[in-house]
Structure 1
């Protein structure tokens, strides 16, 4: 809740900064296209449960305690902004990164994952992949010389793949699913000086249908320093928390996933 409040406060600052001091005709020409590439130092915590129509409710598995995954990793992250039209009111935001984990551990209890039961003391090989892609359309409702602020709608695409194998027993089970989650949110930025820019965003998902139920909050706060007119050096903090349950034709996947971390990036502006 603190991170959520902090991000909204930054967005409110982005919306108001400059609005009080600038007239409606004082409009800054912002880049048409921005591409930020950087290293995302992420820490995550997750729990997953894979139910079976044949065996019933599966075991809730903690990624660190039960599967032995390392919870910290540095990955490449890409973020882009495209502004359309002369009015500056329309923009698209996109993001992508991918996390992969692999581990081998000895089970401390018997677990059920999907249609397989892995027994106590078995050697368990685990492979996990999470790819996140986001696309948002933002309508800028307030803009001035030193700020822009808008409301957005988009899709948060989570590609989840987890496989468990007990080679000594010849057992293997895998669940792979792609979850397109519709989101609504806010986006804003304020140019503190000619070279310093503060950006913030939040995307929210709350939904309950026959197939998908749960919630998600995606928060970002970053600062950029313009080295040249076309290149900026930036650093930001990202935080995502989600609790999703997906029901397929036969089985149900329940995933609670939190990740956060610092990203350091170069932003190329055109």
Structure 2
């Protein structure tokens, strides 16, 4: 998933010289501005998903950091490209990568991964388990400055966040035998596969506000807040994205940016099985992810 975004960055840098030369010869483009940010963010992560209790069939949340020992804190890359045109308009795209992997030699509780490609899987207390949890977050949007001044701007935005989620469990995992009433709680384990994996692609539209204020020469405070909640067909999700930061211009075209970001997304996907010519709901696959931490980037504008 990561390779396409690096290709985008390389192409943008590769065409930088040509674009700059064209803008100098075309007076009408002098108000246009391109900005590339490449940096890292320090993520303090919290993630969980809904699983089934094999003893009573109840649903509970299992924590990826506590149970599967995935790292809570790490440095991760991000990339952002912004195109500002016609004084008030802007297009932006950014990407973050959050890849983690860990081993737990002794799981502390029994649980069922229910309805993964039509099959249930049992992980029992004491099992050894390797977990890989990868998320790429792609944000594409459009912004419009409602108010502008010589040293400030305030606007609104509309966009689309898309999460590409990949989860893989490898280790001592049993396959459950279902009965026709769909009430099996994994009392019959019929096989032990090595790997269980699945992926989810979750697009979430969003609405937001943003602003910037140059409070001192070459020092600018900026902020954005985006939110959306949606329930459509078999998907129910919500998104919160808030960032506060300061940009310091260090020389022509180059700046340093420091920000603090809070990001939280909660996605439920309703699952159904077809038994005896009837569609029967099992439960909602639930994935919750949030991170909070500082972000640092080097910015180039042309």
1:208 aligns with 2:209: no
Q: CA deviation at 1:259?
A: 0.4
Which residue, out of 141, 146, 155, partners 1:141?
A: 146
How many residues are paired up?
Answer: 237
**TM superposition score normalised by structure 2:** 0.73
Please give the alpha-carbon distance, in whole angstroms, between the structure 2 residues aligned to 1:118 and 1:166: 9
In the other structure, the counterpart of 1:223 is 246
Larger RCO (CA within 8 A; separation ≥ 6): 1
Q: Secondary structure at the match of 1:69?
A: coil
- 1:120: Cα distance to partner? 1.3
RMSD: 2.1
Alignment partner, residue 25 of structure 2: none
Q: Trace 1:11-160 onto structure 2 (pairs within 5 A).
A: 32-49=33-50, 59-85=60-86, 88-105=87-104, 106-114=106-114, 115-160=120-165
Does 1:163 find its partner at 2:168?
Answer: yes
Q: How many Å separate the matches in 2 of 1:72 and 1:235?
A: 18
Deviations 1:221-246 (A, max 9, x none): 11011011200011110101222212
Alpha-carbon shift at residue 164 of structure 1 (Å): 1.1
| Structure 2 unaligned residues grouped into runs of 5+ | 1-29, 115-119, 174-191, 274-282
TM-score, length of structure 1 as denominator length? 0.82
CA shift, 1:260, in A, is 1.1
Deviation (angstroms), 1:172: 2.8
- Pair 252,64 (structure 1): closer, same or farther in 2 beyond 3 Å: same
Whether 1:258 and 2:290 are equivalent positions in the alignment is yes
* Deviation, structure 1 residue 131: 0.5
Partner secondary structure for residue 251 of structure 2: coil
Specify whether residues 233 and 110 from structure 1 end up closer, same or farther in structure 2 by C-alpha distance, changes over 3 A only: same
Deviations 1:118-147 (A, max 9, x none): 111110111100101101111111111111
Whether contact under 8 Å (2:32, 2:85) holds in the other structure is no
Shift of 1:81: 1.5
> Which whole-Å CA distance do the structure 2 matches of 1:166 and 1:58 have between them?
23
Counterpart in the other structure of 1:22? none
